[in-house]
Amino acid sequence: MDIEDTMRFILDTQARLEASVQMHDERFARVEGIVAKIGSLVEGNTSRIGQLVDVCLSLARHAEDTDRRMAAGFKELRELQAASEYKLNALIDTVDKLVRRNGGQAGLT
């Protein structure tokens, strides 16, 4: 009977081992599926991240162009304001001279 018990023990152990291998194979298959899904998600996100980078670079170029145009516009505005101020001061001087020449009379003609 010793041989029969040993054979039964070996067969039981082999059956448990095969069940364990089957369970590990199933888990490994699930892990492979998860890794494949993650891979496709990463691949899809990589494409989206690339698009996002392109949009950000485009916005940065647009902002730089807008800054340049605004700086040029402000420069032109400052020049026009300086010219207007010069003309206004000349007008004030002219009016002041006319008022003094007429003796500050209220009824200028």
- Listed by start position, the domains of the chain span 1-72
Task: Give the Cα-Cα-Cα angle 90, 76, 72 (nearest 5 degrees).
Answer: 165
The residue to which tokens 């647009």 are assigned? 62
Judged against a pLDDT cut of 70, whether residue 51 lies above it is answered with yes
Integer Cα distance of 76 and 78 in angstroms: 5
Q: pLDDT tens digits for 12-46?
A: 899 999 999 999 999 999 999 888 888 887 877 78
| pTM for the whole structure | 0.45
- For residue 83, CA distances in Å to 71, 93, 97 come to 18, 15, 21
Joined tokens for residue 77: 């505005």
Q: pLDDT tens digits for 84-93?
A: 999 999 999 9
- The pLDDT mean for the chain works out to 88
